[in-house]
């Protein structure tokens, strides 16, 4: 093999094995979630503080085959969840900065697994708390497990996982918005 060939092989293998920092896509609201909020007999709400519970399964950043997936919202996945909730409420016409009802919570699980063979998967869990006038009206943990087709090739598998993150958050919020106890609490 000539010098150029050896150099190209070395460069290619370095690119495949070295980790890089990626940023998760900004959140895009799910139309189904927005419609659920519009259909609910819901009072106006504001979004308060969301934190992140330190835990092994609550990664920040998320490691995907040696690459780091960071949140686009100040590097915080708790802020990602808060921004997602704000966007859903805003599009539904239910967001108000001076509302009596406030959403807060804690991200408890935040992980993506992209093995070299088989399906990729992601897990999210968060505690959602709704207060009105200083009284807790709702306090529950919601969680999702999501799976999608992956690839042995990292150049395919990693971007798929990166693009899947907002969908996972949409599914988590859907779990919240379809909970009968949530629908009762927001009236």
Give the C-alpha separation, 76 to 43, whole Å.
28
Q: pLDDT grade, residue 15 (50/70/90)?
A: very low
Q: pTM of the entire structure? A: 0.87
pLDDT recorded at residue 155: 84
Whether the per-residue pLDDT at 160 is higher than 90: the answer is yes
* CA–CA distance, 87 with 91 (Å, rounded to integer): 6
| Long-range contacts (CB closer than 8 Å, 24 or more residues apart) made by 87-90 | 87/27, 87/29, 88/29, 88/30, 88/33, 88/34, 88/37, 88/173, 88/177, 89/37, 89/45, 89/47
- pLDDT tens figures, 56-114: 888 889 999 989 999 999 999 999 999 999 999 999 999 999 999 999 999 999 999 99
Compute the average pLDDT of residues 112-118: 92
Please, what are the domains in the chain?
Answer: 20-185 (3.40.50.10610)
Banded model confidence at residue 14, pLDDT cuts 50, 70, 90: very low
């Amino acid at each position: 093999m000539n010098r150029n060939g050896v150099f190209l092989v070395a460069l290619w293998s370095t690119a495949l094995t070295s980790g890089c920092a990626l940023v998760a896509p900004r959140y895009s609201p799910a139309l189904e979630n927005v419609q659920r909020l519009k259909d609910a007999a819901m009072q106006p709400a504001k979004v308060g503080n969301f934190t992140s519970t330190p835990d092994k399964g609550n990664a920040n950043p998320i490691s995907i085959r040696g690459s780091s997936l960071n949140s686009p919202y100040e590097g915080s996945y708790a802020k990602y969840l808060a921004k997602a909730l704000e966007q859903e409420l805003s599009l539904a016409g239910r967001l108000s900065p001076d509302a009596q009802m406030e959403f807060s919570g804690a991200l408890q699980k935040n992980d993506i697994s992209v093995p070299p063979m088989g399906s990729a998967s992601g897990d999210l869990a968060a505690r959602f708390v709704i207060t009105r006038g200083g009284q807790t009206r709702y306090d529950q943990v919601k969680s999702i497990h999501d799976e999608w087709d992956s690839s042995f090739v990292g150049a395919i598998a990693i971007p798929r996982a990166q693009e899947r993150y907002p969908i996972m958050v949409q599914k988590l919020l859907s779990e919240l918005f379809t909970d009968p106890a949530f629908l009762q609490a927001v009236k």
